[in-house]
Structure 1
């Protein structure tokens, strides 16, 4: 199935950065900046300090509803990255920014003094890894991202057999190097199943539809008018390599070149006074 093969190819590049925030450029233009950060590096002391120091009162109210440490780490990291970007690149005062989910518009908005600023953002997180996509624009841009840990314990095979479209299943089978007369669930590769899932999740965010409405539909047909970029990412944590799949879908083109790297992996510590960054 050659027309679906492109969805399983690696169409993202990764570069690491020890400084955070990354140095600003003179002209951002219509460029989607994507950042990946391991929030597991935040310890209990930092979680408490950062929540008090970096979160707006409205964000703190939401943060304190998250009882699991990993959920708190992911929430903190995403908000710090978004607000630092808006402060450094767009000139806003960090302390006056806050990020909230708009249930009516079904997306995140960044606010400055109760006004939505011209910054489109979309986030995803899995197993402590936090993916943040940012685009300064006043246009109604479609943008969706998804990041999923490729778990060896949690199988998507039963979900795929029950919910995935027939063409999606065939495309997953085509990714298997050798398929004999075995049942479908034995032949399907986990990485291919997760790729379909990240595409569906990213698409749902881009077109602002619940994933439940799209799960049975052919994601390849939906993605046809959009720019789609996906890849697998190996994260090293405590000497263990963990695989993730991620997808980005937008009506803004992303190009593979050195000047516009898709994924900026933030390796530095979130330990400076980010509110002073302008």
Structure 2
């Protein structure tokens, strides 16, 4: 197994910088959903989905991901002149992709991930084979036992090399985020990718991968032909000012 999958090559910038291959990250835990003009921010479909989210943190993450996608859309297509409620995110079962639908152009592919309040969102307008995943990696768990139940035996051996629980966690979640990102990039169910060796799968399908850890979370990106994806943080207050609501 190649050590470069653990070398933390994914660039994560603390300041917001939008580029064509940018994953925007945000802490959604401080969003006061009830105070916002939701009918102006979300489409009717999105409002119906948000209404089904009963847990406050789930509402925060849903709203944060959708508004971040709309932020990225407006920066990518500044001349579309659309209200936020005219941009609607819906999952396409045929392609296994979340897409942004608008009245003025073909649906735009996107990718999302969230974990314990940290959300990530990216546009994928060129419909590349691309996916990313975020997982909180700071919770203590029986990592070797879990790995034996889900992972390939080579991956279990890799985790078992470490005696310290924090090192086991780092290895366990790096493998997990790579599997989840690969599932999204290849439009496969994650259940099909748990048992195979993820490093062999990445090599077999000619995918590149980059990862990093930040503030108790692990983030991995998988893409075909490209390692240029980067992450940038944006504060909700800055996004709100930019979108003018």
Structures share fold, TM-score greater than 0.5 = yes
Provide the secondary structure at the position in 1 that maps to 2:112: strand
Task: Report the counterpart of residue 78 of structure 1 in structure 2.
Answer: 65
Which aligned pairs between 1:114-129 and structure 2 lie closer than 5 A?
Answer: 116-117=106-107, 119-129=108-118
1:157/1:188 contact within 8 Å kept: no
Task: Report the counterpart of residue 243 of structure 2 in structure 1.
Answer: 274
Aligned residues: 239
Task: Report the counterpart of residue 178 of structure 2 in structure 1.
Answer: 199
Shift of 1:16: 1.9
Aligned match for 2:227, one of 254, 268, 271? 254
Provide the secondary structure at the position in 1 that maps to 2:14: strand
TM-score of the two chains, using structure 2 as the length reference: 0.88
TM-score of the two chains, using structure 1 as the length reference: 0.78
Consecutive unaligned residues of structure 1, counting only runs of 5 or more, are 180-184, 235-242, 256-260
1:43 paired with 2:32, answer yes
Provide the secondary structure at the position in 2 that maps to 1:41: coil
Question: Which string of whole-angstrom CA distances, capped at 9 and with x for unpartnered residues, describes residues 168-208 of structure 1?
Answer: 1223345x3xx6xxxxx979711100111111111111111
Task: Report the counterpart of residue 265 of structure 1 in structure 2.
Answer: 233
* Alpha-carbon separation, structure 2, partners of 1:57 and 1:71: 18
* Alpha-carbon separation, structure 2, partners of 1:103 and 1:155: 34
* Alpha-carbon separation, structure 2, partners of 1:88 and 1:187: 39
Task: Report the counterpart of residue 8 of structure 2 in structure 1.
Answer: 10
- Segment of structure 1 superposing worse, 192-201 or 262-271: 262-271
Question: Which string of whole-angstrom CA distances, capped at 9 and with x for unpartnered residues, describes residues 248-272 of structure 1?
Answer: 00114124xxxxx711011351433
> Judging changes above 3 Å, is the alpha-carbon distance between structure 1 residues 120 and 89 closer, same or farther for their aligned structure 2 residues?
same
* Alpha-carbon separation, structure 1, partners of 2:153 and 2:223: 25
Consecutive unaligned residues of structure 2, counting only runs of 5 or more, are none
Shift of 1:77: 0.8
Question: Which string of whole-angstrom CA distances, capped at 9 and with x for unpartnered residues, describes residues 20-56 of structure 1?
Answer: xx5x6xxx6xx4211110011202444xx24232001
Task: Report the counterpart of residue 210 of structure 1 in structure 2.
Answer: 189
Question: Which string of whole-angstrom CA distances, capped at 9 and with x for unpartnered residues, describes residues 203-252 of structure 1?
Answer: 11111111111111111111111110111111xxxxxxxx0011000114
Provide the secondary structure at the position in 2 that maps to 1:272: helix
1:95/1:275 contact within 8 Å kept: no
> Judging changes above 3 Å, is the alpha-carbon distance between structure 1 residues 146 and 76 closer, same or farther for their aligned structure 2 residues?
same
> Judging changes above 3 Å, is the alpha-carbon distance between structure 1 residues 50 and 159 closer, same or farther for their aligned structure 2 residues?
farther
1:101 paired with 2:91, answer yes
